[in-house]
Amino acid sequence: MATTTLSTPVDTEPSAPPKPRSPFGRLRYREAGPRDRRLDLLRGFALFAMSANHFGMHHSHIHLFTGRSQFLISAAEAFLFISGLTLGVVSIGRSREQITDRLLSRTWTVYLATIGISFGFAAIAMHVTTELWGWFDPNEHDGRWAWIGQVLTLRTAFNGADILIAYVAYLTVAVVALRLMASGRTGVVIGGVVGVYAFSQVAGPEALDVPIESFRALAPNAPLFFGGLVLGYHCDAIARWWSRFPLHRLIDGGIVAAAIVLAWLHRGGWEHGLWLGEWINGEDVNGPLGRREFEMPFSALAVVGLYLRAGWLLVDRLWVLVERSVGWLLLPLGEASLFTFVAHLAAIPTVWWIASSGYGEDDSSTLATMWTGGYLGLIWGAALVRNRIVRQLRSGMTRSAQIRAHGPAVAVWTLALVVVVGWTGG
């Protein structure tokens, strides 16, 4: 279903909400603090679903909760929106110069993570026989320096790094968008996004292709990230306006009802309402992800937006129940989102290597559930350890600050050197 903005804290301090007037109101989110934990939890669920779906073993019971990458919304779409929303929220009240400095720093972090994934896993692939996310074949490239240049310019990627390339592109454009919004020109941003999206629908996504190895077509999916960016930056004004809108409760109730009905129709293979399934998903009513990745027609975009709103209502209105039931699992993943993403790329081949001696795709759902659960538990445990270390590093020590500032860049360029040496040795 965030980042750079993938793990950006929410720096705005919300005012203390009024005491609830009904017992049901006591379930709502009413926490005040430096982070909006609803975003962490939703981001954590998106990472949980993404990690499980990328792992395979789709006949495990765990995949009943992830959609198996075949539902009407995917974890990647939720992640794009939440990333933009979080970035908008943390930019509230900042000057244009502060926004630029902060966002360029975040973009640099995601860029380093992107090329670091390619370099790191390429170095591993040179020395192991285990298949990673695709085989690494040096003969497909014009030499090691050409491949390294393509990685640095985001024209190629390895082992899932292409997923982050979209974030690098969106974050780069977001610098301009946020500066415009800080100057009171949100209308220009909305007009630009709508115009780019409309053009992609009329001329086709290829008409606006850029020469980078993004896992999604950027123009058709732009409303997700930049829609979240606009909503996040103006969240207070939008919330006040919506609470005064006479029919807001009725509309929100209709959104939740529509989400339930669409999920029921989808589960039934659109036996009832085939015309609606084809309008939303295209001819392949049971496999709509590819259409959304590269085309994202308005019908599919509207349904994705409907589920984003329904998910937010669920977490906001029933926060106490949700946090107590699954917060222990999802919050650590959402708080360490960029780390969690990298960790799941490393965990996939590791667990599959262990499982390969005694597991087959035709084995029972119980065995698949055990392997998937162990894999997810490995990622969750790593996130817990990472969060504890980060809290210690943020104690204000000078050496810790230097590590945080320069450590990622040093690590990435070291990996690049390992690739060069390994390739030469091969």
Q: What percent of the chain is modeled with pLDDT above 70?
A: 84
Find, among 281, 252, 245, 254, the residue nearest to 265 by Cα. 281
Q: How much is the pLDDT for 411?
A: 63
First-to-last alpha carbon distance for the chain, in angstroms, is: 41
State the Cα–Cα distance between residues 250 and 138, nearest whole angstrom: 58
Q: pTM for this one?
A: 0.86
Residue 188 lies in a domain: yes
- And the tokens for 400? 């810790």
Tens digit of each residue's pLDDT (9 = 90 or more) over 192-247: 999 999 999 999 888 888 889 999 999 999 999 999 999 999 999 999 999 999 99
Contacts 24+ apart (CB under 8 A), 181-187: 181/91, 181/230, 181/233, 181/234, 182/91, 182/94, 182/95, 182/96, 182/99, 183/96, 186/230, 186/233, 186/234
Q: How much is the pLDDT for 2?
A: 38
Residue 3 lies in a domain: no
Buried b (16+ CB within 10 A) or exposed e, 84-123: bbbbbbbbbebeeeebbebbeebbebbbbbbbbbbbbbbb
Tens digit of each residue's pLDDT (9 = 90 or more) over 55-100: 988 889 999 899 888 899 999 999 999 999 999 999 999 999 999 9
Task: Let me know: does 417 contact 424? Beta carbons within 8 Å.
Answer: no
By residue range, what is the domain housing residue 349? 24-425
Question: Which amino acid is located at 326 in the chain?
Answer: V
Q: What's the pLDDT band for 3 if we cut at 50, 70, 90? A: very low
Tens digit of each residue's pLDDT (9 = 90 or more) over 142-184: 777 888 899 999 999 999 999 999 999 999 999 999 999 999 9
Residue 212 lies in a domain: yes
Cβ contacts of residue 81 below 8 Å, gap of 6+?
Answer: 224, 225, 227, 228, 308
State the Cα–Cα distance between residues 240 and 250, nearest whole angstrom: 17
Residue 8 lies in a domain: no
Residue 62 lies in a domain: yes
* Number of independent structural domains in the chain: 1
Q: How far apart, in Å, are the Cα atoms of 355 and each of 126, 341, 371?
A: 22, 21, 8
Q: What percent of the chain is modeled with pLDDT above 90?
A: 60
Residue 300 lies in a domain: yes
Residue 19 lies in a domain: no
Residue 145 lies in a domain: yes
323 alpha carbon, distance to own chain's centre: 20
